[in-house]
Amino acid sequence: MDSTPVNWEALDTVVIEFAKLENLIEDSSSAPSPSSSSYHSRLIIRQIRRFLETGAIDAAVDLLRLHAPSILNDHRILFRLHKQKFVELLRKGTSEDRDSAIDCLRTALAPCALDAYPEAYEEFKHVLLAFIYDKEDKTSPVANEWSERRRLDLAGFLSSMLRAHLNAYDPIFSMALRYLISIHRTYCLRQGITSPISDLTERLLLEERDPPATPQDILYEVPPFDEVDIQALAHAVELTRQGAIDSLRFAKGDLFLAFQNELCRMRLDVPFLDQLVREYCVYRGIVNSAFGKQHLPEPVKPNQQDPGYCSSRDCSLELDYIASKHSDGETSVTNAQMDDSPENNADVTSMQGIDFEVRCASDLASIHEDCSTSGSQHLEDPNVLYRSRFSGNGERAKRKRWRGRYDDNSYMCNASLEEHNKQEHSMSTTVSTLSKEKQGSEKLSAQDGNNVENKYEILLGMKELASKGMAAEAVQEINTIDPNFFGQNSVLLFQLKQVEFLKLVGSGDYNAALKVACSHLGPLAASDPTLLKPLKETLLALLRPNEDALGNALPLHALAASLQVAVGRRLGIEEPQLMKIMRATLYSHNEWFKLQMCKDRFEGLLKIDSLKEANTPFLAPVYTSKSYADSCTNGSSQVTVCSGTKMSEDGSSPTQESSRDVICDENAILKVMEFLALPRADAIHLLAQYNGNAETVIQQIFT
């Protein structure tokens, strides 16, 4: 079973976009400023969330008045805020706070309860029991009102409402990860497969979701939604049918807006995501590596003319002002307070941008030791690599500086200092892996740092050579590092020689091209029968000398990525964890929609289609992901798919043909899905057994 090739260049693009929109890298280009209104809005939402999670209700309300005053016109929200404030005042337990709670009850909570929503007055009377029952009494009728879980639920609900209200959705990459991991989990569960990346996905995508945003009553008077949209949304984000209808109501019937709302409800471990992105960016040469002396980078200077601009100082002053209004004792959190905490001081230090001054005169003995322990020949003269054509071409100067979230600590509110230190240590050891023997070290020496930096420069140099089609030069450099490398990676050698052959054909040097074919391509294909077909396709280039055979036949960026991974492993540097996640989840995405017998309606919105590498006619297959494909084979027989399955050409009206040529139309499929609450694949399978008759299927199930 083949795995899905990944378009790493496309992934680079969406990752860079994510890092810019989240203000994680310093960038002086003309790209959209991270101080845009969307970034500012997401920052405000996180601050409001933090206030609510710590019980600082008045501080949250003041921020809402400043940035989203119309949200307080919704009396449902206002009632919940007043009720939580009442509970928080009683929680403090002092006589003064008890008097304040009574005043809140009279002036705010009671009047709001009259017209918030039908159940609000009953809830108002119920919460009065908090006067009688202590917060420590877990068996009282108001134990749920006292629970701090109420804070989290209110914070999550308001975050859902504000995201839609302020149009402050997460970047595409963040939403795509949620979606792909969710599908991967579902696919593995249905197929009886143990996910090869479960340790990563379980940590990255949390189980809990924010409560859904709820539509106002006036939005309930809407025309019926298309059942196709309801089922697509319900199965895409794992909602009940009624949940999908409510989500569409809130989005006023906009399927894609409802889909974004639901994706953003899924919670990610943000520090871990940043760690994965940083590791990937270093590996791909997008940002500077992290092996030298650290220093605090200069903050990005945003465009102050931007209407959405809000500097850290502005936000700090704003929060200080809000906190000063509540100095009578209510819990509130300001940026200054957060900066004094050990958690946030650690965050400021750990997520700083990094510069490293590359030292070309590396320690030969250390590199010799590392290469030999990884099973490869030692690097006889590493300085050759730094004298080579890829060391001084300015690529290093194009790299950006990682700055992290050191000016935004709100996302760390639930992380302890100990856990944060573990995450930062994990980041440093992952990004700067030397070899298996050195992965357990807590701190790299300067000498080891130089060694790792040199190895990364070697990898990036190889990647650059291959991506430019400089195959002969890449082969020469790799043989200098490890003469035995291609003996164990014959497919990569074949691909590089394909590139060399096609370049020679393109330049008109047919004799040299045939020499490459006879000396390398032919012997390699003779020893590996799977290479015979790509060899034949490659030789056809001789019949089309005027065409750009190299550009049309070989995706050089894919070859460059494969070469980088293979050489990196020989040097003791594993591929980034994000690459493993994307390779596995994109494979699952493909397989899942084969089972569903339709195309994914949302893959274009999330740019998932661009992340899948297009098939190419000449390139020999690379087996770098075979282990995952093999693991997906185990247990797959537990799910039965009819042998006559096929997907329609346009993807919109899939069909299912049994041995008796039974065809199920779209309406029958939707009817069975709706009435029996079944996934699409199961509905099609049942219809195939009953000649495509939806009524017969439903009758058989209920009888």
Cα gap 429→449, rounded to integer Å: 11
**Six-digit token pair at 601?**
């309606």
C-alpha 253: how far from chain center: 27
pLDDT of residue 346: 39
pLDDT of residue 188: 94
pLDDT of residue 124: 92
pLDDT of residue 328: 45
pLDDT of residue 350: 36
The residue type at 374: S
| Residue-wise pLDDT tens digits, 102-137 | 999 999 999 999 888 889 999 999 999 999 998 888
Length of the chain: 703
pLDDT of residue 343: 41
**Six-digit token pair at 616?**
């190419």
pLDDT greater at residue 547 or residue 43: 43
Q: Which helix (H) or strand (E) holds 208?
A: strand 205-209
Q: Is 26 helix (H, G, I), strand (E, B) or coil?
A: strand
Give percent of the chain with pLDDT exceeding 70: 66
**Six-digit token pair at 623?**
């087996």
Task: Judge whether 538 and 237 are in contact, CB under 8 Å.
Answer: no
Q: Which backbone phi and psi does 357 adopt, to 5 degrees? A: -90, 110
pLDDT of residue 672: 78
Cα gap 369→447, rounded to integer Å: 13
Question: CA nearest 278: which of 291, 261, 290, 269?
Answer: 290
| Residue-wise pLDDT tens digits, 456-498 | 888 888 899 988 889 999 999 999 988 999 999 999 999 999 9
Q: How far is residue 130 from each of residues 43, 81, 145, 586, measured CA to CA in Å? A: 34, 16, 8, 51
pLDDT of residue 546: 58
Mean pLDDT within 578-605: 93
Tokens 């807590």 — which residue?
A: 442
pLDDT at 518 over 60: yes
Task: Judge whether 556 and 7 are in contact, CB under 8 Å.
Answer: no
**Six-digit token pair at 223?**
């025309």
Tokens 């969330």 — which residue?
A: 49
Cα gap 307→36, rounded to integer Å: 8
The residue type at 382: P
pLDDT at 386 over 60: no
Please, which residues have CB within 8 angstroms of residue 126's CB and are 6 or more apart in sequence?
A: 141, 142, 145
**Six-digit token pair at 323?**
């906190």
pLDDT of residue 419: 40
* pTM given for the model: 0.74
Mean pLDDT of the chain: 75
pLDDT of residue 691: 76
Count CA within 13 A, CB hemisphere, residue 486.
17
Q: What is the distance in angstroms between the CA of the first residue and the CA of the last residue of the chain? A: 40
Q: Is 645 helix (H, G, I), strand (E, B) or coil?
A: strand
| Residue-wise pLDDT tens digits, 130-180 | 999 988 888 999 999 999 999 999 999 999 999 999 999 999 999 999 999
Question: CA nearest 27: which of 280, 276, 357, 298?
Answer: 298
Cα gap 597→600, rounded to integer Å: 10
Helix-helix angle 37-53:149-166, to 10 degrees? 160
pLDDT of residue 29: 56
Task: Judge whether 421 and 349 are in contact, CB under 8 Å.
Answer: no
pLDDT of residue 663: 60
C-alpha 182: how far from chain center: 11
Q: Which backbone phi and psi does 401 adopt, to 5 degrees? A: -100, 130
Task: Judge whether 524 and 487 are in contact, CB under 8 Å.
Answer: no
Cα gap 606→181, rounded to integer Å: 13
Question: CA nearest 336: which of 320, 318, 314, 321?
Answer: 320
pLDDT of residue 659: 35
What DSSP string runs through 365-392?
HHHHHHHHHTTS---S-THHHHHSTTSS
**Confidence category of residue 447, pLDDT binned at 50, 70, 90:** low
Beta bridge partners of 456: none
Task: Judge whether 598 and 605 are in contact, CB under 8 Å.
Answer: no
Mean pLDDT within 551-578: 85
